[in-house]
Amino acid sequence: MDVVTDPAEVLRLGTAKAPENLEFRRYLAAHGVDEKPFQLIAGEVQTHIDCTSCANCCRYSIVSVSDREIETLAAHLGVTVDEASRTYTVPDPDTPSRRILASSRRGCVFLSGNLCRIYNARPKVCRDFPHVAAGSHTLGTRPESHGRWAALCPIIYNAIEIYKHVTGFHPHH
C-alpha cells in the first residue's frame, strides 16, 4: 500500500484537494455509502503510519476531559486533582462547565516534540484518535470531519484517497 506519510506533503495535498473532498462528501451523502469500508481502510492505513512523525492531532485538537480523566492525570503526574485541573486544563469556551486540555501555539500542553508526556494516562479522545475504528460512531461516520482532518492527518488523508477509488467516485473538475 502506497501512502503519503510526510505531514508537509499531506498538508499540501489535503489543502489542494479540499474542494474535491467536499464534492466527495456530497457524493457519499447522495449515494448513501456505508462508512464501514472507510473505517476498515483507515484501520489498514493506520498500520502504515508512525503517528510520532506527525503529532498534528496533538497540535490542532481541542480535547475535552472528564473529571475522571483529570483524576487520572493528577495521579500520573503526582499532583492534586485541583492542581492538575488548574495547571493543565482550561474551561471549554463553548461549554464553560466542561474542561479542555490547555494548549499553546505549539499544541497540547503535554506535547513534547512529537511525543505525549502523559501517553499512558492520556484522555480517551486522544487514545481513540483518529476515531475511525470499525463499528465506532465518531469521526469515522462523519465525513465532514474527514474534510477538516484530511490536510492534517496522514491516516485520514490516505484513507479518503483510497475510499474515493473504492466507492467509484470521480471528481468533476
pLDDT in tens, 103-156: 999 999 999 999 999 999 999 999 988 877 766 555 444 566 677 889 999 999
User: Residue 139 has what pLDDT?
Assistant: 46
Rounded CA separation 99/87 (Å): 12
pLDDT of residue 141: 46
Tell me the per-residue pLDDT of 72-89, one tens digit each, with 9 for 90 and over.
Answer: 999 999 999 999 999 999
**Mean pLDDT, rounded, for 22-51:** 90
Q: Looking at residue 144, what is its pLDDT? A: 63
- Give exposure, 25-34, as e/b (b: 16+ Cβ within 10 Å): bebbeeeebe
Alpha-carbon distance 125 to 57, whole Å?
A: 10
Distance (Å, whole) CA 30 – CA 19: 17
At 40-72, the pLDDT tens digits run 999 999 999 999 999 999 999 999 999 999 999
pLDDT of residue 136: 59
**Measured between alpha carbons, how far is 110 from 118 in angstroms, rounded to an integer?**
7
Compute the average pLDDT of residues 8-37: 91
Would you state the pLDDT for residue 140?
44
